[in-house]
Structure 1
Amino acid sequence: MTMTSTMIKELKTDGEIESSFNIMKQLRTHLNLQSYVKLVAAARKENQYRIFALYKKEEMLALVGFMPMITLYYGEYIWVCDLVTDDNNRSNGYGNVLLSYVHQWAKENHYHTVALSSGLARTDAHRFYEEKMGYDKVSFVFKKDME
């Protein structure tokens, strides 16, 4: 499979964001279209969140969402919030292309670290991050809902 026929584009308009929902829903199953568009808009405004789609011809195949962050642990870095390839197009290298794009974007914008978290049950994703993309497993993420 050749990647020469693919294109990566930042999604900026509500229409572009809406058009990505069916793919993002495969990762973020708890969201509906309205909450998705609202959250993306808020994250773009408040947290410099950016979302990019990978297309082959005119078909959207995969998405990556990320944002710059600052913590005492990593300093200034890029946090990958979302990385998903459409179910019908997995194992074609699209996740690799998008994550490599984030790495290049980070370098060009003077960030020296890219970090992400991945659900405990997503063992295929963990293997991808560690074996194919060279990520180190450095911590556990803990969560407590305040409801």
Structure 2
Amino acid sequence: MDSVTVKELSSREEIRQGFPVMSQLRTHLDENTYLELVLEAKEVDRYRMFALMEDGKIVAVTGFKPMTTLYYGRFVWVCDLVTDQNYRSRGYGDKLLSYVHTWGEEHGFESVALSSGLKRPDAHRFYMDNMEYDRVSYVFKKSLT
């Protein structure tokens, strides 16, 4: 992991390069919809996207939003976190999420929060056991369409 770096994906082309990895998590998105949503989220929601690079290749991607609510105060909400299926169990998710923690601390945020799908017990173990997250709530969703 000596040649591992974290890079912000800012331009349309950089964001597009993150799609092959992000699509492993967000399987319902095609590349055009992905680009449209990321660019809109960057513009209206302060969404930031970062990639973990190994020898110049994207091996993991995260997207997060700095937020403020009455419940959490000032915090970072991790919207997306995925490691390429060919690079899992090498500590890349840990490294990228730790980067988000550091980013949050450096920018004056009090905590990092995220949600994880009910059918992802491996991810839950990762967040609670490896990353020392607490389970603090359930997330509920109602479709309006």
Please, what TM-score do these two structures have when normalized by structure 2? 0.98
Aligned to 1:146: 144
**Match of residue 69, structure 1, among 67, 70, 74:** 67
Matched residue type, 1:22: P
| CA distance, structure 1, for counterparts of residue 9 and residue 143 of structure 2 | 30
**2:73 and 2:110 in contact (8 A); partners too:** no
Deviation at 1:32, TM superposition (A): 0.5
Identity of aligned residues (%): 54
3-state SS in 2 of match to 1:141: coil
Runs of 4+ off more than 2 Å: none
Query: Among residues 73, 80, 83, which one is paired with 2:81 in the alignment?
Result: 83
Match of 1:16 in 2: 14
Match of 2:56? 58
Matched, 1:120 2:137: no
1:136 aligned to 2:123? no
In structure 1, the gaps of 5 or more residues are: none
TM-score (ref. length: structure 1): 0.97
How far has the Cα of 1:43 moved from its partner? 0.5
Residues 41-88 of structure 1 show CA distances to partners (whole Å, capped at 9, x for unaligned) of 000010110000001111110001101111110011100000000011
Q: Please give the alpha-carbon distance, in whole angstroms, between the structure 1 residues aligned to 2:57 and 2:104.
A: 26
Once superposed, what is the RMSD of the aligned Cα atoms?
Answer: 0.6
Q: How many residues align?
A: 145
Letter in 2 for 1:73: Y
2:49/2:62 contact within 8 Å kept: yes
Partner residue of 2:99? 101
Deviation at 1:120, TM superposition (A): 0.3
> How much does 1:100 deviate?
0.3
Cα offsets for 1:15-35 (capped at 9, x unmatched): 111111111000001101000
